[in-house]
Amino acid sequence: MNKIICACLMVLIIIKQSVQNVVINGPGLKPDKIVMPARYFIVNFTSFNDYTTDMGKEFAVDIHGQSYTSNHCRVWANKLDRKDGTFIIRYKVYETCRELTINIYYKSKHIAGSPLQFSGPIYADHCNCPERNIDKWLNNYGCKDSYKQIEKDLKQFVDVDMNVQIKRIIDKHHRPESTSFCHYVVKNNQIHRDCYGKHVGFNMFSDNILLYLTRKVEMPDMELVINLGDWPLARRDSDPLPIFSWCGSDDTLDIVMPTYDITESTLENMGRVSLDMLSVQGNVQRAWAAREARAVWRGRDSRAERLKLIDIAREHPHLFNASLTNYFFFRDKEAQYGPKQPHISFFKFFDYKYQINIDGTVAAYRMPYLLGGGGMVLKQDSPYYEHFYHSLEPWVHYVPVARDLSDLVQRIEWAKDHDEDASKIAKNARQFANDNLLPQHIICYHAVLFKEWSKRLVSKVSVREGMTAVPQPSSEPPCSCNPPDHQEKRDEL
């Protein structure tokens, strides 16, 4: 009997020690300093020996607070299980809160320093309450001082006179049927723009990131040109033109921003988008060992190599699950490569160990989500790149594939024969995504890029005649940037 009691006590001690070693981190643990559309943090249980699905059932989070008009503050929270012993907790604040409490429980017991309490104010994303000092804001937000890609993109621009550059850009690239771009002016934290081209609907994406930032911090006065198309514009073989684009290439000099896709998924997290960097990780259903050892791909016919992929997949069905979902560029070949197949949920890609990334018209903007999903990415060699590509290492974060896909089968066979190595690459990829591509990182990259760009302008920043104002959206419910009790504390200081 004594042995049984001792054994039980030992188990309890081990469980208690493991729970004490649970680690929590992330921007959602600073809700009074970091305002995001959806705040989030990570709870890491990897001090436990093995992950089981029961762990998620025993783990709970409760977030609540008060508003400045009632004893209840509207907060929506959800838990995303990454199936590796870590969980993402994200929550959305719908109004200005105070006395916010984050309770983290395992087996009904507080863990990881819970409860965490914040007096406030805790602002909702729609609150237009900018911090006056951008350096203070960047520090509070946890942003890097700079990025190698930003330094590389901006080093060609010194003492920029935008009066001259705007005229040059318009003269060279104002071709309404083929190119579209917007000239933005940020003056006194207000946004104005002129857009050029026939198809300017994508200005909603550039509007949104500028509106987001100016709600959070007083941005320096600046003007810039944002390309609304996929293809970069500033050719390397001509005088450099300061054009911001969502995609770069080896033969252009565009200043590269995070793509509109990952930016919108950041700004609409827990909103109107269903695919974002957090949801991808929280909707993976299979651990590596349970995944099917084949390579998966779905997409439209936007490049010849995508057709070649279908030929290869048909020759090696034991290695591939690949299909075209739409025909536009090669409609005359639909009979040969069709019939087109229905879309599958992006989350189902990660029922497979290997994911293929092939360029579309430019870089395939799905790459961040593939890296975050915990699979081994097979990346086609490409002249196109997103803002983070140059930080990736082949055979560390992905497996490289020739531009013509001539070694694709060989790469998959290697992965099947070297499962441990393939699994390590997949883990490295996910870690890279967690360190560089989550919402906090995307917002920081934009803020640092725009701050550094503003330093290079020597011409006076002014709103041009005829420019369109881009106002902040209406605040519902209304926000107070200086709630009564918070104002009293500030006055006392």
Q: Please check the confidence at residue 179 and state whether its pLDDT lies above 60.
A: yes
Higher pLDDT, 306 or 13: 306
Which CATH architecture describes the domain 277-439? 3-Layer(aba) Sandwich (3.40)
pLDDT for residue 5: 43
Higher pLDDT, 486 or 27: 27
Average pLDDT over residues 455-478: 93
Tell me how far apart the alpha carbons of residues 181 and 202 are, in angstroms, rounded to a whole number: 9
Q: Please check the confidence at residue 488 and state whether its pLDDT lies above 50.
A: no
Q: Please check the confidence at residue 492 and state whether its pLDDT lies above 90.
A: no
With cut-offs at 50, 70 and 90, classify the pLDDT of residue 9.
Answer: very low
Average pLDDT over residues 294-320: 96
Q: Please check the confidence at residue 489 and state whether its pLDDT lies above 70.
A: no
For 407-447, what is each residue's pLDDT tens digit?
999 999 999 999 999 999 999 999 999 999 999 999 999 99
Q: Please check the confidence at residue 200 and state whether its pLDDT lies above 50.
A: yes
For 367-410, what is each residue's pLDDT tens digit?
999 999 999 999 999 999 999 999 999 999 999 999 999 999 99
For 257-281, what is each residue's pLDDT tens digit?
999 999 999 999 998 888 999 999 9
Q: Please check the confidence at residue 186 and state whether its pLDDT lies above 60.
A: yes
pLDDT for residue 337: 87
Tell me how far apart the alpha carbons of residues 370 and 347 are, in angstroms, rounded to a whole number: 10
Fold of 2-127: Immunoglobulin-like (2.60.40)
Average pLDDT over residues 118-145: 96
With cut-offs at 50, 70 and 90, classify the pLDDT of residue 20.
Answer: low
Q: Please check the confidence at residue 302 and state whether its pLDDT lies above 90.
A: yes
With cut-offs at 50, 70 and 90, classify the pLDDT of residue 477.
Answer: confident
With cut-offs at 50, 70 and 90, classify the pLDDT of residue 120.
Answer: confident
The least confident of 136-140, 229-233, 334-338, 436-440 is 334-338
Is this model's pTM higher than 0.85 or not? yes
With cut-offs at 50, 70 and 90, classify the pLDDT of residue 219.
Answer: very high
Q: Please check the confidence at residue 16 and state whether its pLDDT lies above 50.
A: no
Q: Please check the confidence at residue 110 and state whether its pLDDT lies above 70.
A: yes
Give the mean pLDDT of the chain: 92
Higher pLDDT, 51 or 54: 54
For 312-331, what is each residue's pLDDT tens digit?
999 999 999 999 999 898 88
pLDDT for residue 8: 43
How many percent of the chain have pLDDT more than 70? 93
pLDDT for residue 49: 57
With cut-offs at 50, 70 and 90, classify the pLDDT of residue 299.
Answer: very high
Average pLDDT over residues 185-203: 96
Q: Domains of the chain: which residue ranges? A: 2-127, 148-256+457-470, 277-439
CA gyration radius, the chain: 25
How many percent of the chain have pLDDT more than 90? 82
With cut-offs at 50, 70 and 90, classify the pLDDT of residue 15.
Answer: very low
pLDDT for residue 479: 87
For 223-267, what is each residue's pLDDT tens digit?
999 999 999 999 998 889 999 999 999 999 999 999 999 999 999
